[in-house]
Structure 1
Amino acid sequence: MIRRLLAAALTIVVAGALLVACWPQLFGVERVIGVAQVVSIRGMLALVAVLSAALLGIFAVLSAAARRFFATLATMLVVFALVSTAVLGVRGFGTPSAESDDGDLVVLSWNTLGDAPGSDAIAALALDEGADIVSLPETSEDAAAAVAARMAASGREMQVLGVQFDAISKARSTRLLISADLGGYRLDDSVGSTTTLPSVVAVPVDGSGPTIIAAHPVAPVPSEMGNWRAGLDWLAERCADPASDVIVAGDLNSTLDHWGSLGSDAGIASCDDAARTVGAAAVGTWPASVPPLLGTPIDHVLSTGAWQAVDFQVIESMDSAGSDHRPIVARLRPAD
């Protein structure tokens, strides 16, 4: 009797844990410590669930006394894996590159892990993609300047803006390159920044053009959970006005699952996620050492309704370049 009660209790606990891991937004706990970390690795969890179900199936065959218990757990894990895979399928595993059009903006973002790929590799990628906007979290002033110089030498003039909290770590520096074709830009210090790690807010000098944000909220490690939540809330404030013209690009240290309480099911507040729009939001950008479908999609490009995402690509060819993040490239088209 006691054994059956314990088995039933454990079954209920596992079922509850799987339900929370599958859809934490249902309970409003997607930004709670523990849950926030688990839900970010949907692809990996689905794989682990399948392997665990197979192991439990073997136990069910070998143990007549606990067959029903093991079979029940295995069934729940299979259902969890199927639902998680379905969620990832809805978000999309990537699409072929779309045709470019006059007026498109090409936005590149790459967390360089402290300049690890080198300025030549960063500039070459930006030139190959025809980037108009380059967001470079964890990148030093010298590296960003070198990237801009190499792009200028190839006929692509870029303005360099940045915010650096201190010189202790390059992670505390974020840089933003903006094509001269978009006009002059200046830093907007009036809206502040994310805490722990900096974000750059650039506005057009003449008031004509999008506000461009190179974003880098801190990661949701246990000691930084409050700052992580505050960073996402800060981004939601930047995207609060649906009539505004805002483009956000960077390492947001969060997935679509973490944005459930931020006012949108397709992005953050009035900023839609480019990958979600084109069907590529299940492709992992971190870490670069694991297959994309098992990684975590934490690097993003978002925009308000002034722009329509027509393409989004995760660049896998740079996995050995030195950074732990994959670069991402989005093409945004004016909505008018």
Structure 2
Amino acid sequence: MLGWLLGIAVAAALLVAAWPQTFGLEQAPIVAQVVAVRMGVVGIAAVLAVLFLLLSAARRIRRFAGAVVVLLVVFMVASSGIHLSRGIDDSAVEADDGDLVVLTWNTLGDAPGAEAIAGLVRDTGADVVMLPETTIETGTEVAVLLGAEGIPFWALTTDFSNADYGALNTTLLVSAALGSYTAQPSADVGQTNTLPTVVATPDDGEGPTFVATHPVAPVPQQMRNWRADLDFVAGLCTHDASVIVGGDFNSTLDHWTSLGVGTGDIGSCVDAAGATGSGAVGSWPTWAPAWLGAQIDHVVATPDWRPVDAQVLTGYDDLGTDHRPVVVVLRPR
């Protein structure tokens, strides 16, 4: 009887770890952290499977240990399949005239420096750049460097008190070729709770709203704020507006199951990486290979934009930040 009860408990735990959406637990404490790093959990399951396979040599627990091995193997296949179904394509697509190139990079408090950020913008041909944890001083310096090369950008920022701490800054760069943009007051458009979000609208009313966002990480003391931050971002993505959001969402597609509206992943917005077959490429942390990490840095857009390419760039892992840049090509429908 004890063996059966333990077996049922193991099966239930593995089901929750593989697909917590079954029980609406994808944003629950512990579960949210587990599902964020699917391949890491699969690796742990593989080690446990070997351990229980060895334990099955003991006659008294052979049946129980064998059953656990089977459950772990089923879990590994299922969770790996879910992860890989989101795509590992890292090929690049050239942007056409009229396409919008969007770049996001959490710089860990200006760690790469203005020249490296400007070089990335130049190399990717980005039109819009979302930079969580980047101060306005660095953002302005990036804009100056690019302007000197004939690529002018507007630099907009939102910071919270004690802005000397890098995480309390979020900066948005918008190409001057798209027109002038203004950051809207939080009192008018709302705000994430712990780390700042920039919401910028075109001064002439022509063009999409750009959002550089940074929901807080789902650490135990911030779970309520994390959920509220994701709700806030989802609320910006409505069918009656043209909105492009990029940044460090501190969440994966799994966490958004209850937030999508219609065919959207979060609100009406569609995740570009998931839509173009690269949703399984990890953007964090840089010390882990991309196939093992979590994709928590995203660019999402309302249905008037069609994602045609998304890449997690692995060539910038040694520049001081623990996040990889994500570059996306969006095409107006």
**TM-score, with normalisation over the residues of structure 2?**
0.97
Distance in 2 of aligned mates of 1:195 and 1:153: 36
Give how far 1:43 is off: 1.1
Give how far 1:126 is off: 0.7
Q: Pick from 99, 105, 113 the counterpart of residue 108 of structure 2.
A: 113
Q: Pick from 157, 168, 174 the counterpart of residue 170 of structure 2.
A: 174
SS at match of 1:325: coil
Distance in 2 of aligned mates of 1:199 and 1:71: 50
Is residue 24 from structure 1 mapped to residue 20 from structure 2 by the alignment? yes
Distance in 2 of aligned mates of 1:266 and 1:71: 42
Give how far 1:271 is off: 0.2
Distance in 2 of aligned mates of 1:334 and 1:18: 41
Distance in 2 of aligned mates of 1:66 and 1:192: 57
Q: Is 1:243–1:305's contact at 8 Å kept on the other side of the alignment? A: no
Is residue 246 from structure 1 mapped to residue 246 from structure 2 by the alignment? no
Is residue 212 from structure 1 mapped to residue 210 from structure 2 by the alignment? yes
Structure 1: stretches of 5+ with no match in the other structure: none
Q: Pick from 128, 142, 152 the counterpart of residue 123 of structure 2.
A: 128
Amino acid in the other structure paired with 2:4 = A
Q: Is 1:266–1:277's contact at 8 Å kept on the other side of the alignment? A: no
Q: Is 2:100–2:331's contact at 8 Å kept on the other side of the alignment? A: yes
Distance in 2 of aligned mates of 1:94 and 1:27: 30
Distance in 1 of aligned mates of 2:94 and 2:176: 23
Distance in 1 of aligned mates of 2:95 and 2:210: 21
Give how far 1:150 is off: 1.1
Give how far 1:225 is off: 0.7
Q: Pick from 171, 196, 199 the counterpart of residue 198 of structure 1.
A: 196
Distance in 2 of aligned mates of 1:294 and 1:7: 33
Distance in 2 of aligned mates of 1:75 and 1:320: 40
Q: 1:48 is matched with which residue?
A: 44
Q: Percent identity?
A: 50
Q: Pick from 291, 294, 305 the counterpart of residue 293 of structure 1.
A: 291
Distance in 1 of aligned mates of 2:88 and 2:309: 13
SS at match of 1:270: coil
Q: Pick from 183, 196, 216 the counterpart of residue 187 of structure 1.
A: 183
Distance in 1 of aligned mates of 2:328 and 2:254: 20
User: How many pairs align?
Assistant: 329
**TM-score, with normalisation over the residues of structure 1?**
0.96
Give how far 1:51 is off: 2.3
Q: Is 2:90–2:312's contact at 8 Å kept on the other side of the alignment? A: no
The 5-angstrom pairing of residues 13-92 of structure 1 reads: 13-60=9-56, 62-92=57-87
- Over the residues paired in the alignment, what is the CA RMSD in angstroms? 1.1
Give how far 1:168 is off: 4.3
Q: Pick from 135, 143, 146 the counterpart of residue 148 of structure 1.
A: 143
Distance in 1 of aligned mates of 2:183 and 2:121: 22
Amino acid in the other structure paired with 2:291 = L
Q: Is 2:316–2:324's contact at 8 Å kept on the other side of the alignment? A: yes
Q: 1:306 is matched with which residue?
A: 304
Q: Pick from 99, 119, 134 the counterpart of residue 104 of structure 1.
A: 99
- The runs of at least 4 aligned residues of structure 1 exceeding 4 Å deviation read none
Q: Is 1:266–1:276's contact at 8 Å kept on the other side of the alignment? A: no
Distance in 1 of aligned mates of 2:127 and 2:94: 16
Amino acid in the other structure paired with 1:36 = A
Q: 1:280 is matched with which residue?
A: 278
Q: Pick from 202, 222, 225 the counterpart of residue 223 of structure 2.
A: 225
| Deviates most, 154-163 or 63-72 | 63-72
